[in-house]
Amino acid sequence: MSIELSAIEYRYRDATALAGIDLTIESGELLALLGPSGCGKTTLLRTIAGLEFPDRGRVRFEGRDVTALGARKRHVGFVFQHYALFNHLTVFENVAFGLRVRGWFRRPRRAELERKVGELLELVQLREFARRYPAQLSGGQRQRVALARALAVEPHILLLDEPFGALDARVRADLRRWLRDLHDRIHVTSVFVTHDQEEAFELADRIAVMNKGRIEQIGSSETLYTRP
């Protein structure tokens, strides 16, 4: 599903977070939002998600105006930097929660729930970890559970806010390759926030370089010359 942002402006009480954003993201594309802390990446992502509503401008999904719709109605999946897993629930139950939260499986038959969660855990290569608790997993494994939970709702759009930010360099590099492979298989339109140039260049189809609430440059890793 394509995303079109036109003339998006967003102000917090004492800060302009988005100062006129025009951006079209193609269906199936993996786009990185790259830029220093405070440039507006998270606010832009939350605006796409329907967690923030812009002061001006329109958000369209596949040509349909969703500016006034909340997150639930936009059919998006999120993964955030800090693991938002429930520590008292198993991996299985964490992923099942992703299904239940939208009411799709309000009273699921156990067999159906097991099949669906099993598929998602297969996708993130954690099937044998279903009965474990988050504390028994590595940081990278926990983020893969978070991803499985986000994908549980079969989102049209996947939004990732520094999902590997808390992990060490080697794990980050592994997960980057892994996410790239996953995206090549499922082709869900994805927007990825990072302040790490290498991560953006390696992972994304295109990179939007942000500064002070604007997009300064946009292009593929071959066409951008911001690399030092």
Structure tokens at 40: 């507006």
Nearer to ligand ADP among residue 46 and residue 149 (C-beta): 46
Alpha helices of the chain — where are they, by DSSP H?
41-49, 71-74, 91-100, 110-123, 139-151, 169-186, 197-203
205 three-class SS: coil
Nearer to ligand ADP among residue 34 and residue 96 (C-beta): 34
Minimal distance, residue 175 CB to ligand ADP, in Å: 18
Structure tokens at 158: 């996947």
Distance (Å, whole) CA 7 – CA 25: 15
Minimal distance, residue 115 CB to ligand ADP, in Å: 34
66 three-class SS: coil
Bridge partners, 76 (sequence order): 157
Nearer to ligand ADP among residue 80 and residue 201 (C-beta): 80
Nearer to ligand ADP among residue 96 and residue 160 (C-beta): 160
Residue 70 dihedral angles phi and psi, to the nearest 5°: -80, 175
Minimal distance, residue 193 CB to ligand ADP, in Å: 6
Minimal distance, residue 12 CB to ligand ADP, in Å: 3
Q: Beta strands 214-219 and 206-211: pairing type?
A: antiparallel
Distance (Å, whole) CA 56 – CA 21: 10
Interaction site with ligand ADP (CB under 6 A): 12, 15, 17, 35, 37-43, 81, 161
Nearer to ligand ADP among residue 159 and residue 179 (C-beta): 159
Minimal distance, residue 181 CB to ligand ADP, in Å: 25
Minimal distance, residue 103 CB to ligand ADP, in Å: 25
Nearest to 58 by CA among 28, 20, 89: 20
Minimal distance, residue 126 CB to ligand ADP, in Å: 25
Nearer to ligand ADP among residue 98 and residue 163 (C-beta): 163
Bridge partners, 218 (sequence order): 208
Nearer to ligand ADP among residue 79 and residue 148 (C-beta): 79
> Helices (H), strands (E): how many in the chain?
7, 10
